[in-house]
Amino acid sequence: MVVFVEDSFDSAHQLPNVPEDHKCRRLHGHTYRIRIEVEGEVDPQMGWVIDYSEIKRVWDPVKAELDHHELNAVPGLQNPTCEHLARWIWHRMTLQGLVLSRIELRETVNCGVVLSR
């Protein structure tokens, strides 16, 4: 079974490795939408895979490092593409012991990335 938590955060960034005339080279912002998924068996006693609050406990400090910040200034995000950002989030959350199965990160309503095990 897959359990998920969805959230959003607002950040600014610029992409330093794109051509000079690319619009994303200039500083701009996004409201990112994230879906964090954990897969596992339902615990017969508790009746759940994981408490939603456990996912949020791990996610909230990671979100605090990103929300209303310029991503280029965050250590490890000097080239903050959506792909790099998804990997960075995954790494930060797994450092806290959460075993993720999938992250979907949307930079806009129509564009984003999926990272999965």
| Both tokens assigned to 8 | 């959003």
Rounded to whole angstroms, the Cα distance separating 40 from 38 reads 7
The answer to whether 14 and 24 are in contact (CB under 8 A) is yes
Residue of 6, 68, 83, 91 with catalytic role? 68
Residue 24 falls in the annotated catalytic set: yes
Q: Are strands 69-70 and 112-116 parallel, antiparallel or unpaired?
A: unpaired
Residue of 24, 39, 65, 84 with catalytic role? 24
The answer to whether 38 and 7 are in contact (CB under 8 A) is no
* Burial of 80 per CB tally in 10 Å (0-12, 13-18, 19+): buried
Residue 69 falls in the annotated catalytic set: no
Residue of 13, 30, 82, 107 with catalytic role? 107
Which residues belong to the active site? 24, 68, 107
